[in-house]
Amino acid sequence: MFMKQYNAGIIGLGIMGRRMIANFARHPAFKVSSVWDPSSKSLKATQQEFQDLHYSETPEQLINGVKPDLLYIACPPEFHKQYALQAIDASTPLYLEKPLGVDVEQSESLVELLEQKDHINAVNFVQASSEAIEKVQELLNNDELGKVEGVDIILQYQQWPRTWQVEADWLRFKASGGYIREVLSHFIFVVERLFGEAKVNFSHPTYPDDSALCETHLQAKLVCGTIPINIFGSCGGHGPDRQEITIWGAKKSAKISDFYLLEISESEKWSTISKTQSDPRTETLQRQLDNIVNLLEGRPQPLANARTALSVQKIIERLLVT
């Protein structure tokens, strides 16, 4: 299926960086050519999990010495632009984590440069390659849901960061972390992909007494044209985490839980229509990498680019304002 193998470089070896090392390794079109992270702790964790990787001594060595065919940037947001600029200077295609920067102004300047240079880029909103979202888009295009009466987004976490994220300590701070930036951004991407530009009607975030820490709760309403988008977020309390978006249609309704489980209802019950997946996260990431290949080879693909990510970030930052 794939005629060429691309060398991928990775900056940032936290949770996402290591996850993508594994996914690049699984994909027939990619090989990880070199990695870099300033943290000795992250380097040690990577070395324990993966053998035979090449470790660059500096990001400059990775970008300008190794010269990968694709640079994946998975470090904390405050450093995204710094390394992206180096990749632009080296004409290296970019695969970025969101947000693009720590604030909208920083992200806008990066987007402007990427567009000015016509630089190849994609942002890792994985739902761009989701089979569940693809199916919902098909249902909407075929008018099988009927008129969309509204959309509900619900996020509930026992703790934040989640247990598997605790090494990413920055996620608990207001400056660049929080589940609204980390998770709700994926749902805002989905909403704008399905229904067009979203505008904030109102937002009421709640923060803890320690002003350095991120949000605990959110009630908000967006509108896409005439479609109301209701958002409910909370952190704390026992029970399973909850991540879902429900699209209420006049004929049928669709609900996606945990990004992949698609259910349809036209009465009082929900029926699961998603295929069984042993590892849905990995399967979706592999589809995402298929689309990265399409991007590199100039074929049509549904990936989010930096301009799309900026639109999402503007909404997210507006939602966080008290």
What is the chain's mean pLDDT, rounded?
96
**155 and 60 housed in the same domain:** no
CA 228 and chain centroid, separation: 23
**72 and 164 housed in the same domain:** no
Which of 101, 126, 151 delimits the end of a domain? 126
Cβ neighbours of residue 301 closer than 8 Å, sequence gap 6 or more: 291, 292, 294, 295
Distance of alpha carbon 117 from alpha carbon 91, whole angstroms? 9
How many domains in the chain?
2
Which of 256, 276, 296 delimits the end of a domain? 276
Token code pair at residue 55: 């470790």
The pLDDT value recorded for residue 276 is 72
**134 and 119 housed in the same domain:** no
- CA–CA–CA angle 40, 41, 46 (5° rounding): 95
Query: If you compute the radius of gyration of the chain from its CA atoms, what whole number of angstroms results?
Result: 20
**134 and 232 housed in the same domain:** yes
Position 220 in a domain: yes
Contact present, 264 and 145 (Cβ < 8 Å):
no
The pLDDT value recorded for residue 22 is 97
- CATH code where residue 264 lies: 3.30.360.10
Which of 126, 141, 164 delimits the end of a domain? 126
**151 and 233 housed in the same domain:** yes
The pLDDT value recorded for residue 322 is 85
**261 and 166 housed in the same domain:** yes
The pLDDT value recorded for residue 143 is 98
For 16-53, write each residue's pLDDT tens digit.
Answer: 999 999 999 999 999 999 999 999 999 999 999 998 89
**139 and 240 housed in the same domain:** yes
Mean pLDDT, residues 172-178:
93
**137 and 252 housed in the same domain:** yes
For 70-79, write each residue's pLDDT tens digit.
Answer: 999 999 999 9
Q: Residue 263 is which amino acid?
A: E
Provide the percentage of residues in the chain whose pLDDT is more than 70: 99
Position 286 in a domain: no
Position 259 in a domain: yes
Please determine, for residue 2, whether its predicted confidence score (pLDDT) is greater than 80.
Answer: no
Provide the percentage of residues in the chain whose pLDDT is more than 90: 91
Q: How confident is the model at residue 167 (pLDDT cuts 50, 70, 90)?
A: confident
The whole domain housing 233 covers 127-276
Mean pLDDT, residues 201-226:
97
**60 and 104 housed in the same domain:** yes
Torsion angle in degrees (nearest 10) through CA of 239, 181, 225, 242: -10
Q: What is the DSSP string of 3-43?
A: ---EEEEEE--SHHHHHHHHHHHHSTTEEEEEEE-S-HHHH
- pTM, entire model: 0.95
Q: How far is CA 6 from CA 2, 50, 179, 290, in A?
A: 10, 19, 33, 12
The pLDDT value recorded for residue 44 is 92
The pLDDT value recorded for residue 274 is 84
**101 and 221 housed in the same domain:** no
- CATH code where residue 70 lies: 3.40.50.720
Q: Which range has the worst mean pLDDT, 123-127, 189-193, 267-271, 316-320? A: 267-271
**122 and 136 housed in the same domain:** no
**181 and 87 housed in the same domain:** no
Position 86 in a domain: yes
For 70-117, write each residue's pLDDT tens digit.
Answer: 999 999 999 999 999 999 999 999 999 999 999 999 999 999 999 999
Position 304 in a domain: no
The pLDDT value recorded for residue 3 is 73
Distance of alpha carbon 209 from alpha carbon 187, whole angstroms? 28
CA 112 and chain centroid, separation: 21
Please determine, for residue 288, whether its predicted confidence score (pLDDT) is greater than 80.
Answer: yes
Please determine, for residue 268, whether its predicted confidence score (pLDDT) is greater than 70.
Answer: yes
Position 162 in a domain: yes
Q: Residue 91 is which amino acid?
A: S
The pLDDT value recorded for residue 1 is 63
Whether the CA torsion 319, 156, 22, 127 is positive or negative: it is negative
The pLDDT value recorded for residue 51 is 86
Contact present, 206 and 215 (Cβ < 8 Å):
yes
